[in-house]
Amino acid sequence: MNDRQETGSMWHGGGTWHGTTILGVRKDGAVVLAGDGQVSLGNTVIKHSARKVRTLAGGKVLAGFAGATADAFTLLERLEAKLEQYPGQLLRACVELAKDWRTDRYLRRLEAMMIVADAEHLLVLTGTGDVLEPEGGVAAIGSGGMYALAAARALMATDADAETIARKAMSIAAEICVFTNDKVVVEKLG
């Protein structure tokens, strides 16, 4: 059993968070990040309308997080600093953040995952140093992430735009995952 399992955290070795759903969709030049509003502590809903999706870099970058809230905000601050250091270079900023996240003793203990996007990239960032660009223009994290991902992938073949796909996929995830609700916040580029 590892430290995370022993402390009873919501992290599971496979990278699944229980407590939120974040979905990114890129289609026809538009990029959308959607996140549900539920904050859970164990099996109890603490808040229904948290904002887990944000704009950064003057509205040029979208970021959504799943995991421990304080840890996620720490990572968002670090990402903003990297974006200031490497303006207009989201991929480079994310790689530099991932290096720090993996090697810095303090950051290594942070329990969160992120999806970030700009006009060119849709990326998943993890504490294991991963900076992944999923295929097909869809990325998802969190407890309902795989439900939202499957729904969004199916909807990509329709005429629906990115925002419609994200909203419908999040609605489907909320119907299936008890840690995901229908109080969805959507941020959009393009």
Q: What is the pLDDT of residues 63-95, one digit of tens each?
A: 999 887 777 788 889 999 999 999 999 999 999
Share of the chain above pLDDT 70, in %: 87
Instruction: Give the CATH number of domain 3-181.
Output: 3.60.20.10
Q: Model's pTM, two decimal places?
A: 0.87
- Output the pLDDT for position 12: 36
Q: Annotate 25-88 with three-state secondary structure.
A: EEECCEEEEEECCCEEECCEEEECCCCCEEEEHHHCEEEEEEECHHHHHHHHHHHHHHHHHCCC
Does residue 121 register a pLDDT over 50?
Answer: yes
How far is 130 from 53, CA to CA, in rounded Å?
20
Which are the catalytic amino acids?
A: 20
Quote the distance between the C-alpha of residue 30 and its chain's center. Answer: 17
Residue 112 — very low, low, confident or very high, per pLDDT cuts 50/70/90? confident
Domains of the chain, residue spans: 3-181
Please state which of the ranges 159-163, 171-175, 179-183 shows the lowest mean pLDDT.
Answer: 179-183
Of residues 46 and 168, which shows the higher confidence score?
Answer: 168
pLDDT tens, 12-31? 334 444 568 999 999 999 99
